[in-house]
Amino acid sequence: MGYLGGFLVTFRQHGRKNRVTTQYSGGRLFKRKKRSASAMDVKVEKPERLHGRHVLNRYEDGMEKCIGCELCAAVCPAKCIHVRGADNDPDNPTSPGERFGWIYEINYLRCIHCDLCVEACPTEAITETKLFEFSFTNRKDAIYTKNELLVGDDGKPRHMPWEDWRPGEDQHTSAWMRATASAGDASFVGVVSWAGERGYGVRAAEATQAEADSSADASITSDGTTSSSAQTKSSVTH
């Protein structure tokens, strides 16, 4: 009978104007605890390295990081990235160097959020946010172009009408990139080896394993249970 409950959720959504589901898992947990209806609209806390909707980053001076090299498109297993580079105008360059990303598109009907594109990018131009609450009712909306992907003058992602951003969520745009040590060498853990970002400067490195462990230990409550923040930290660093 459990599947009938799923159909019920689908039928309830028919005819509603809201394109984004807001009955999140966090909300359902609140409901079980008999909280108010407004408390239903709560997202569960996500791991810091969650692979969500992408952004194209800019340097602190506003220049675009993408150099149009197409490595991200080449490595993408779903073949959902389309990039075309072009020569910079020497008098008014878009990015440092010779070329910039002239066309950049990601088809979210294909993307599997593996983040191989992030790993492949030599300039940290493409990274991901933690936003996973977005949906489309037509193919055009599902293909994000450079207009949607490039961060604004404040370094934050642009908000599309069908995306459900909450305050502060748009600040987490490069966690996975900063979590990986160069070549996987443990001696690079905690060493800053990335460029600054528009609006944020050079972001700090993720906590080392020892720091994360001691933080988790400190979060063990007196009755022996682990607080949610300690659980989150633990899931991030293992």
Could you list the residues that contact ligand SF4 (CB under 6 A)?
66-72, 76-78, 80-81, 83, 101, 106, 111-117, 120-121, 123, 125-126
- Residue closer to ligand SF4 (CB basis): 106 or 189: 106
Minimum gap (Å) between residue 73 Cβ and ligand SF4: 7
For the CB of residue 229, give the shortest distance to ligand SF4 in the complex, in Å.
28
The Cα–Cα gap between 16 and 18 comes to 6
237 CB burial (10 A radius; 0-12, 13-18, 19+): buried
Closer residue to ligand SF4 (CB): 150 or 189: 150
Q: Which is nearer to ligand SF4, 30 or 59 (CB)?
A: 59
Residue whose CB is less far from ligand SF4, 30 or 176:
176
Residue with tokens 């039928």: 11
Report, in Å, the least distance between residue 90 CB and ligand SF4.
Answer: 19
Q: How far is the CB of 205 from ligand SF4 (least distance, A)?
A: 21
How far apart CA 38 and CA 22 sit, in angstroms, is 11
Beta carbon nearer to ligand SF4, 105 or 213: 105
Cite the DSSP H helix spans in the chain. 2-13, 25-32, 71-75, 116-120, 139-142, 146-149, 175-179, 209-218, 228-237
- Paired tokens of 1: 């009978």
Residues 6+ apart with CB under 8 A from 4: none
**Least CB distance to ligand SF4 at residue 227 (A):** 31
Residue recorded with tokens 């909300």: 27
